[in-house]
Amino acid sequence: MEEKQQEEIDLDKVYDYTEFPDKVSGRCDNCNLAYFRSSVKGGVFLRECRECGMKKSI
C-alpha cells in the first residue's frame, strides 16, 4: 500500500478545515507560520496566512 504523497498547496483555493485540518494546530500547513488575517463573510470564518496567503474556512 502506497502512502499519500505530500500534495501541492494551491494558494488561490480556499480549503475547508473539516476536510483539511491543520497539520500542526494553529499553524499554516504551507509555511508553518502562526500569524493569520481573519475575516467573516456570509457567516463563514476565513483565515488567511499573512506570510504565504493560504486560506482556510474554519
Q: How confident is the model at residue 18 (pLDDT cuts 50, 70, 90)?
A: very high
- Percent of the chain predicted with pLDDT > 70: 88
- Whether 4 shows a pLDDT value over 70: the answer reads no
What is the rounded distance in angstroms from the CA atom of residue 12 to the CA atom of residue 9? 9
pLDDT band at 8 (very low <50, low <70, confident <90, very high): confident
Q: Name the nearest CA neighbour of 56 among 2, 14, 24.
A: 14
